[in-house]
A and B are shown apart, each in its own frame.
Chain A
Amino acid sequence: MKRIRTLLQKYCAVAVINLHSSTAYTGEVAMRSIMITVILYVLVHLWKAAYSASGATAISGLTVRDTLWYLVLTETIILSKSAFSTRISEEVRDGSLAYTIMRPYNYILYHMSYSLGDSLVKLLMNFAAGALVVLLLEGPPQHFTIVMIPFLLISVILALVLDFCFEGLIGLCAFILEDVSSLQLIYNKILFILGGMLIPLDFFPGWLAALSKALPFNLVLYGPARIFVRGEISAALTILFLQCLWITVMATILFLLYRKAVKYLSINGG
């Protein structure tokens, strides 16, 4: 028990150190938030025009305001998530991995804490900037209540952890391929469509919606965004359960593959 507590303290400290380091450059982070304001400004106009052209007030149960707040959350998560696979790839190529895997911490857990610390400030800044645009141009979210805040926060953190597992699996390919940028690009594009970043899964044709909901990618973006716009506790609990389930599966695969991948590792430079 004591050992677990010590371990938790160690990795929390890593997250906090990186959080502090991110807050030291708030100007830089704030400037990066310009992106989400431009994206949401464009999306507000696109979706308002689309709803207005169709004449419908709600499509698949989502009003234009729901859709826009949905997009605030998906864009916030995608722009704030950490690119763990790129870091592994860089460490393999420049040889620094030889030092980092020797240090007295678990390589995967260290990077997970590091990534979470890195993402938290970005999450706050991006959400604030995106929410401001939609709030000013369309109005506040319709179904979200204070009761849903803990569900939403936990779901966003779990989404980042699940994404970290996917990124980690891609990153491990760098032990063999060295450069994994094309794999990361494909993963991100999967998130764009099957994850529901560009368009809510509810708008998909039946077969594609069913396929997307059966795959775990939707739990990185669609899941938390759905909690945010629907405000239903039972649906939120189901999403949280599925997130935990998929994290267990993916994390187990990640740790097993990490052990195997270290054996294939060849390090250049240094």
Chain B
Amino acid sequence: MIFNKALSELRFMFELWKMNLASALEYRANFITQSIGMLINDAIFFVFWVLFFECFKSVKGWGLQDMVLLFSIITTGFGVGLALFGNALKMAEIIAQGRLDYYLVLPRNVLIHILASRSQISAYGDILFGVLSFFFFAGPVSAEKTLLWLMASFLSGVVIVCSFSIFGCLSFFIGNATTLAGQATNALLILAVYPDTIFQGGVRFLMYTLLPAALIGALPYKAVQNMDWQSLGFLTGGALLFVLLLVVVFNMGLRRYESGSALNVNV
């Protein structure tokens, strides 16, 4: 019974993804422009690190190739996560504007339906950048390293989607949390895209807990760079914990949800 239900939700999710992709490809010029725009955006940070390491060679054990590998994992994870669950970034807004009503009346899992209903088109540019940078600029590539990179990027994406959604769920508890969720999202990404060894003490603790930047960047990087399956195991545990946390927080919040009289039409 539970298995059948899960299978049915998975099928539904696949249908939503197919529809999102078809809809994105319908406006092909926009799709290409946004993807290339994001590719350029990511490449600029690559240029920054090239210039930075021209000056400094290495920082606390991190060199250019390490930064490229870290960036390739985060951009691929971010890209896959938001291409499939694009509404993770809009969760706070959807709740605050009372737009959950549309999802609540349909006989589907509300959380999955909300998250998978939208695809962030520019995320395809992130995926492209991540793949290109891993295969061409992040050092020697082997079959095992590629497998680890794929799994680490996927798990990083899971943590990204869950964290963004949890920040968004704050709207259930404190009213309109759009700005706060946006700030938390940006803070998380900023902490993730720099070498974790430059931080110490409380900030490092924060990076493994409230703002799980280390689970998005440093830990997946460690797993791939050192071919360390144990780190990947810890990352898997962390990602599952965040999935569980999201489900709990979302369901707790849903009990408090009240919509206004705003009329919304979802097309």
Binding site for B on A (CB under 8 A): 28, 31-32, 34-35, 38-39, 41-42, 45-46, 48-50, 53-54, 59, 179, 181-182, 185-186, 189, 192-193, 198-199, 203-205, 208
Main secondary structure of the interface of A (DSSP, over half): helix
> How close is B53's CB to chain A, nearest CB, in angstroms?
9
Q: A42-B194, A49-B198, A185-B41 are in contact. Are A31 and B183 (CB under 8 A)?
A: yes
- What residues on A are CB-neighbors of B231 within 8 Å? none
From the candidates A182, A199, A208, name the one contacting B37 in the complex (CB within 8 A). A182
For the complex, give the distance between the alpha carbons of A2 and B33 in Å: 49
Say yes or no: A31 contacts B180, CB within 8 Å.
Answer: yes
Asked if B55 is at the interface (CB within 8 A of a chain A CB), the reply is: yes
- What residues on B are CB-neighbors of A48 within 8 Å? 198
Binding site for A on B (CB under 8 A): 30, 33-34, 36-37, 40-41, 44, 47-48, 51-52, 54-60, 179-180, 183, 186-187, 190-191, 194-195, 197-199, 203
- What residues on B are CB-neighbors of A203 within 8 Å? 51-52, 54-55
> How close is B195's CB to chain A, nearest CB, in angstroms?
8
- What residues on A are CB-neighbors of B51 within 8 Å? 193, 199, 203-205, 208
- What residues on A are CB-neighbors of B57 within 8 Å? 53-54
- What residues on B are CB-neighbors of A34 within 8 Å? 183, 187
- What residues on B are CB-neighbors of A179 within 8 Å? 30
Given contacts A50-B59, A193-B48, 10 further A-B contacts (CB under 8 A): A31-B183, A35-B183, A38-B186, A49-B60, A54-B57, A179-B30, A181-B34, A185-B37, A193-B44, A203-B54
> How close is A192's CB to chain B, nearest CB, in angstroms?
5
Q: A182-B34, A193-B47 are in contact. Are A42 and B183 (CB under 8 A)?
A: no
For the complex, give the distance between the alpha carbons of A179 and B37 in Å: 13
For the complex, give the distance between the alpha carbons of A39 and B180 in Å: 16
Say yes or no: B194 contacts A46, CB within 8 Å.
Answer: yes
Nearest opposing residue in chain A for B43, CB measure: A189
For the complex, give the distance between the alpha carbons of A35 and B180 in Å: 10
Instruction: Provide 14 A-B residue pairs closer than 8 Å at the C-beta atoms, listed in order of the A residue.
Output: A31-B180, A34-B183, A35-B183, A42-B191, A42-B194, A45-B198, A46-B198, A53-B56, A179-B30, A181-B34, A182-B36, A185-B40, A189-B40, A204-B51
